[in-house]
Amino acid sequence: MPGTPLPMGSFTSPQVKRVHYGEGCLSGLPAAVDELGGARVFIITGHSLMQQGTILGRIQELLGDRCVGVFGETRQHVPRATVLAATRAAQSADADLLISFGGGSPNDTAKLVALCLAENVTDERQLDRYPGEFTNFAGATDEERKVKDLYTGDGLWVSEAFLDPVVTTATPGWLWASTAFPFPTDWPWRRCGSCSNTLPRSTSDRDDLESAGYCQVAAWMSIYALTNVQVGLSHGLGHQLGARNDVPHGVTSCIMLPRVMEFNRSVTAPQQRRIAEAMGVDTRDANDDEAAAAAVSALENLIDTLGIPRRLSDWGVSEADLALIAQDALEDLVVATNPRPIATQEEVVELLHRAL
């Protein structure tokens, strides 16, 4: 605004070519495949969507004889072995274009299959050489080390993304709800008909396509510029809770995000005030610390409304796991960006203990 010095900065623009959204947008898939020159299309998805079959069948129908195969065994946290199995399947099909169908696990698997095909990776250990639908990074779990590693590079950008709420109806309510978290900013909560309302509606009624569509667009908005922001401790803990204890990624945020918001409050209270306001909390008579505390309460209330258990012990994590989770998290590159510096491993263990 006039009178306020404009700071110097830079912005990395996402390289996703096109995002299609709204009920029925999936009908544009054949034209997108034509534009990309795909003649032998290979679909990567998960077991539940493979078993449900109806929506996958619609995609295969749209592709016609260009669909040369389906890999339907992706797993949460993206084990390296699964990536290599999908790579071999795509190679056997002589695929020239990959489609990921589903959530984060199929997306990251497909990205890493593309990397493996391009770099001729045939062994899990070869992935040691290398450092979502809208980002240029992916995560895979080394099941021997029980650590989730991150991979990044411009070759991991997708070309086209389709956000058709029709394809979400097969997703179980608890999984749909949990994947709304984390959210890196208050923006999607302000812009998309208030996710505080649309998320519970679409969770309780999986056929509410209008609410589901708003949630999809909110997710897109929240992650669109993720390469320009820092995600910090909650996200890093989520990576390692998944790798070591198989806690679903969205659930890890439902558990850890409130605790990390409390941990970071001393340096992020003004930002947390905006989250409280976006979630409908009246903060007019509150100072920043009070508003930040209200944001945590509002978030916890929403998670409880959605019926997601939010204690680590509810998901099989024990006291004996905490030190190793903390150690692995501190080696996760995203944790170094936490707004409040982390002095010791013991700080992280204590935070995990409060969530146990």
Secondary structure (DSSP) of 207-274? T-HHHHHHHHHHHHHHHTTGGGS--HHHHHHHHHHHHHH---HHHHHHHHHHHHHHHHHHHHHHHHHH
Query: Is 306 buried (19+), middle (13-18) or exposed (0-12) by CB count in 10 A?
Result: buried
- State the Rg of the chain over Cα: 20
Single pTM value for the model? 0.80
- CA nearest to 34, candidates 133, 167, 159, 132: 159
Q: So what's the pLDDT on residue 317?
A: 96
For 316, left (φ over 0), alpha (ψ -120 to 50), or beta?
Answer: left
Q: So what's the pLDDT on residue 273?
A: 92
Mean pLDDT in the chain? 87
Give the tokens for residue 60.
């295969």
- CA nearest to 86, candidates 51, 47, 52, 48: 47
Size of the chain, expressed as the number of residues it contains? 356
Mean pLDDT of 46-58: 90
Cα–Cα distance between 179 and 212 in angstroms, integer?
A: 12
Q: How far apart are the first and last CA of the chain?
A: 45
Backbone angles phi, psi at 73, to 5 degrees: -125, 30
**Looking at residue 7, what DSSP letter applies?**
P
Distance (Å) of CA 140 to CA 62, 115, 128, 273: 30, 12, 11, 34
Query: Is 123 buried (19+), middle (13-18) or exposed (0-12) by CB count in 10 A?
Result: exposed
Q: Tokens 């809208």 — which residue?
A: 134
Confidence grade of residue 48 (pLDDT, cut at 50, 70, 90): confident
Backbone angles phi, psi at 14, to 5 degrees: -60, 145
18-22, 223-227, 284-288, 345-349: range with lowest mean pLDDT: 223-227
Q: CB 15: neighbour CB atoms within 10 A? A: 14
Give the tokens for residue 53.
């079959």
Q: What is the largest CA-CA distance in the chain?
A: 64
Q: Which strands make up the sheet holding 67-74, listed edge to edge?
A: 67-74, 41-46, 97-101
Mean pLDDT of 307-311: 92
Residue 63 has pLDDT above 90, yes or no: yes
Dump pLDDT digits (tens) for 89-115: 999 999 999 999 998 889 989 999 998
Q: So what's the pLDDT on residue 192?
A: 46
Dump pLDDT digits (tens) for 183-222: 555 455 555 446 778 889 999 999 999 999 988 888 887 7
Dump pLDDT digits (tens) for 147-184: 666 666 677 778 899 999 999 998 889 889 888 876 55
Mean pLDDT of 116-140: 70
For 157-191, give one letter per residue: b (16+ CB within 10 A) or e: bbebbbbbbbbbbbbebbbbbbbbbbbbbbbbbbe
The single-letter code of the amino acid at 217 is: V
Q: Is 222 in contact with 170 (CB distance < 8 Å)?
A: no
Mean pLDDT of 302-311: 92
Q: So what's the pLDDT on residue 168?
A: 92
Mean pLDDT of 131-140: 60
Say whether 111 sits in a helix, a strand or coil. Answer: helix
- CA nearest to 226, candidates 330, 133, 93: 133
Confidence grade of residue 131 (pLDDT, cut at 50, 70, 90): very low
Which residues are 79's β-sheet partners? 141
Percent of the chain past pLDDT 70, that is, above it, reads: 88
Mean pLDDT of 265-286: 92
42-56, 175-189, 337-351: range with lowest mean pLDDT: 175-189
